[in-house]
């Protein structure tokens, strides 16, 4: 599964903002400590102020693993 990579600055621009007037962007860290948003957020955004997200690089999603869990 691919997602869209964000820089720290881009993540900060999206926090608290809606992508369709109702649902909020959800920048998240992957297991490599890389910020990302979903492709759905990119596809469904309606605010032209965020058109720059269309050009974010696609990367492979790496699921976050809780490093505090003892197996």
**Averaged pLDDT in 10-residue chunks for the chain of 71 residues:** 97 97 97 97 96 98 80 57
Its pTM stands at 0.89
CA angle 51, 49, 42 (to 5 degrees): 35
In the three-class reduction of DSSP (H, G, I as helix; E, B as strand; rest coil), residue 3 is classed as strand
The pair of structure tokens assigned to 49 is: 């102020």
In the chain, % of residues over pLDDT 90? 89
Residue 40 Ramachandran class (φ > 0 left, ψ -120 to 50 alpha, else beta):
alpha
């Amino acid at each position: 599964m691919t997602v869209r990579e964000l820089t720290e600055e881009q993540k900060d621009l999206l926090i608290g903002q809606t992508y369709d007037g109702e649902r909020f962007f959800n920048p998240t860290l992957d297991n490599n400590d890389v910020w990302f948003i979903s492709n759905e957020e990119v596809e469904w955004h309606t605010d032209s102020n965020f058109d720059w997200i269309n050009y974010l690089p696609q990367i492979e999603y790496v699921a976050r693993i809780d490093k505090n869990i003892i197996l």
